[in-house]
Amino acid sequence: MKLSTRFSSVNRIKKVVSIYGSSIDVELQQRAVEYNALFKKYDHMRPALLERMPIMEKTASNGHTEIVQTNGETEPSVPDTKHPPLVTQPANQANDLLDLLGGNDVVTVIQTTLPTKPASAGGELLDLLGDLSLSGGPAPAPSVPISQPPFLLDGLSSQPLFNDISAAIPPMTAYSKNGLKIEFTFERANPNPNIAVITIHATNTTEADMTEFVFQAAVPKTFQLQLLSPSSNIVPALNQGSVTQVIRVLNPQKQPLRMRVKLTYTHIGSPVQDLAEVNNFPPQSWQ
């Protein structure tokens, strides 16, 4: 990346970085996505961000003697009596999407996405599920503490991940519009059959790539949902590839699964945003 500030043409560097956008190594994939975003959205800031950092000078005082030292030298053993202030996270940060369903029938969505949206973009989801009706009256929420987000991952490391019932669950098309197609495939988590693992496959039949692609989802209060990081934020044109993303849904009540999805992307320079409600999940995916 630092070489990109030394050469006038960076097309080859961009191609090398984009290759790792779908790497199975999570660390490589995350770095590649961040660098791609730097090239596309913050290119004007790239030279400043990647310039060489000067050596920082440190000042240590001991009584009446003041010593100025640079990095790499040994500092005198001066006891550090100052502690960094504790930063308390706002209580509502973990529940950014609590208003997705409107009113009190909400569910916490644990989401891990690519850092392509500014922090203020969370407010755009407030009405995502505002009109989703809940038939049969509200059911009690599962007694899972919100303060423990990794609940969907517990117990999955020591046993086979999926049951054989996965092969019997048919895939489904959740969305198909303007050349963008979203398909769902299903598995069932082995140690906890109440967890449905859904993999989305986004494909693009148009002649231009769909960039800055973001898939978001929310479910009624009787479920809990977790979104993992997508494989990329670019849906290649002409079905030359796909973007995949894993969703885990906890359904302790064994109720029919309902979901509202929000799709955001840029196509031929124009931003596109659409909402859709998905209700036709195969019974095998939630029973």
pLDDT of res. 240: 95
pLDDT of res. 124: 47
Q: Rounded mean pLDDT of 118-123?
A: 44
Q: Does 18 or 136 have the greater pLDDT score?
A: 18
Cα R_g (the chain), whole angstroms: 24
Least confident window among 36-50, 78-92, 212-226: 78-92
Q: Rounded mean pLDDT of 100-109?
A: 46
Q: Rounded mean pLDDT of 33-59?
A: 71
Is 188 a residue whose pLDDT tops 60? yes
Least confident window among 58-62, 142-146, 251-255: 142-146
Is 93 a residue whose pLDDT tops 80? no
> What's the rounded Cα separation, in Å, for the pair 129 and 132?
5
Burial of 134 (0-12, 13-18, 19+ CB in 10 A): middle
Q: Does 212 or 9 have the greater pLDDT score?
A: 212
pLDDT of res. 22: 72
Q: Rounded mean pLDDT of 186-190?
A: 82
Domains, the chain, with CATH or none: 1-72 (no CATH), 93-134+142-285 (2.60.40.1230)
pLDDT of res. 57: 67
Least confident window among 18-22, 49-53, 160-164: 160-164
Residue 90: which pLDDT band, with cuts at 50, 70 and 90? very low
pLDDT of res. 209: 96
DSSP 122-179: GGGGTTTTTT---TT-PPPPP---TT-GGGGGTT-SSS-SB-GGGGGS--EEEEEETT
| Residue 174 contacts residue 261 (beta carbons within 8 Å) | yes
Q: Does 71 or 171 have the greater pLDDT score?
A: 171
Q: Does 93 or 30 have the greater pLDDT score?
A: 30
* Closest CA relative to residue 147, chosen from 189, 191, 95, 218: 95
Residue 216: which pLDDT band, with cuts at 50, 70 and 90? very high
- Give the largest Cα separation in the chain, rounded: 78
Residue 234: which pLDDT band, with cuts at 50, 70 and 90? very high
> Mean pLDDT over all residues of the chain?
72
Q: Let me know the angle formed at the C-alpha of 126 by 123 and 242, rounded to the nearest 5 degrees.
A: 80
